[in-house]
Structure formats: structure tokens, C-alpha cells
Homo-oligomer: A and B are copies of this chain.
Amino acid sequence: MSRRSSSEALKIQQHADIFAALGDPVRLTLVAKLVGGKPHSISELTEGTKITRQAVTKHLRVLEDVGVVESAKNGRENLYELNTKPFESLQIYLDVIAKQWDQSLQNLKAFVETE
């Protein structure tokens, strides 16, 4: 019981972190640019924005920390691409809430782990 409760609290934290990562227009725009699957360098992702490369780097790090993007160095470039798995995880969460399915929320941990 208390094990399960703490386990769910952890899930809440994890999901909150992903929501928070997406909760910024700059980062959501970065995600949009990466949709399609083609990797982009930091410089490319900075083009068209009104902020500096360093600021973009910080945003990418936030996204990477929650697993929404992944990076790989290629020469002097650092290429970022989307990882869609976290989004699928959020979909389950939202589905349960949108349907007000009380019991499912309590079993969310099992849901996610057997996904």
C-alpha cells in the first residue's frame, strides 16, 4: 500500500517533469522543428529564433533530461532528434484523465510498466 503510493508519487513526478519540459513555447517549437525525424544541429535549431544559441542549448538540455530528445555528436556538430516514447507515456496519462477513469489512475503504474 505505502509502497504503491510512493511508487505512484514517483510516476507523478516523472510525468510532471515531461509536462514541464513541454510547457514552454520555445521548447515546444523546438519539438515541432524536430518532428519528421530528421536530426538537426543546435545552430540549425537556433535559426529563426530570437534567442542565442546558448539559450537554445539550455532548452535542448531540458528536453533531453526527460528523454524527449536525444543527441549525438557528429564532428563539430551536435545533432538532436526526437524520441517519441515519452509522448506515448503522456498519452496514456491524458487518456485516463480525459475519460475520468478513476480506477485506471490508481493502476496507472501497472499500465505504464506493461506498456
Instruction: Identify the A interface with B (CB < 8 A).
Output: 9, 12-13, 15-25, 27-29, 31-32, 35-37, 82, 84, 87-88, 90-91, 94-102, 105
* Residue contact B97 to A84, C-beta cutoff 8 Å: yes
User: In the complex this chain forms, how many copies of it are found?
Assistant: 2
* Residue contact B97 to A31, C-beta cutoff 8 Å: yes
Complex CA gap A31/B29 in Å reads 26
Partner of A91, one of B15, B19, B84, B91: B91
| Chain B positions within 8 Å of A95 at CB level | 91
**Min CB–CB distance A60 → chain B (angstroms):** 16
The 9 lowest CB-CB distance pairs between A and B, nearest first, are A20-B23, A19-B23, A19-B22, A87-B98, A23-B23, A36-B102, A16-B25, A84-B98, A16-B28
